[in-house]
Structure 1
């Protein structure tokens, strides 16, 4: 099924069995997962059919692991370009485009605006160029959602909307993306 161990990442869950992050999905290489198993830092919850071997040892590669010690999530999300895009669902806040994303200062820096959660939105390059250094009222361009600092929970929820290209079947029960809700 898999040609090499490199194609067998392990989904990493916190001690409460929730992914450390959804986007990007918290994955470890097979080497890091096995090292953590030997150091007794994780529990193996599911395995691949693929195994690694030495002359005296064989082990199936972990596909889902959970940390033995709980890692508290950050209280405040880091202000990064990626997190701004994630907050804004990877779409321009002026036209909705998803290509050529950059970010725009709602109150332009040239007019005293600061680079912060409360003043920066995702914008496509054409909208950013069109708005330029003008106020929203002057450009007649208003963001679909006014910028604000999201909670870590909001970023996690937004990240769940963007599943990675590859999801191993053993991960589904831990990600809740494909589980049916009972009536």
Structure 2
């Protein structure tokens, strides 16, 4: 039963988060259902039993109270990589997060600040080459993404584990293929 997390949706039936995916361990999901904090939307074919109760494990749950989303995106290393779609902004190559660096377009030694507008994802070879050739410019000028833009980027990188009951709620507004 330990491998039966519940996908958590906001009261409007959109996921609270895509990256990381908003999941609850089955124990917390059952507890929240019993305390009426969340509603069950879909269930697994697995039950949990106590001496007096039997309950099917929830696979998708929705909050009863809407949680407003943040108005601004948090400035983190991972969100910069996500904004840049895990591509080096100098050579255009696609890399794993572990193979990217956080690069100041205008170096700090020349007055550059650590902000959305001055940081890009870069591979190590390009980052080192940029130190020698200061004329290198990013393919896409850095800027702060809107929450909507970062959400779209997060949908492009689905997690490794997706239960089939989650698909209708994770990608409900994505155009279907013929």
Give the TM-score normalised by the residue count of structure 1.
0.89
Deviation of 1:147 (Å): 0.5
Does 2:137 match 1:142?
yes
Structure-to-structure mapping, 1:39-118, within 5 angstroms: 39-95=35-91, 96-99=93-96, 100-118=99-117
Q: What's the CA shift for 1:97?
A: 3.3
Misfit runs of 4+, over 4 Å: 177-180
2 CA distance for matches of 1:17 and 1:85? Answer: 27
Aligned residue number for residue 156 of structure 1: 151
Give the aligned partner of residue 14 of structure 1. Answer: 10
Q: Deviations over 1:60-119 (max 9, x none)?
A: 110000000000000001111111111111121112230411110000001100000000
The DSSP-based 3-state class of the residue aligned with 1:7 is coil
- 8 Å Cα contact 1:15-1:70 kept in structure 2: yes
User: How many pairs does the alignment contain?
Assistant: 175
Q: How far did residue 25 of structure 1 move?
A: 1.2
Return the TM-score normalized by structure 2: 0.91
SS at match of 1:64: strand
How far does residue 140 in structure 1 lie from its aligned partner after superposition?
A: 3.5
3-state SS of 2:127 partner: helix
2:21 aligns with one of 12, 20, 25: 25
Distance in 2, Cα, partners of 1:77 & 1:179: 22
How far apart, CA to CA, are the structure 2 residues paired with 1:126 and 1:46? Answer: 47
**Offset of residue 179 of structure 1:** 6.8
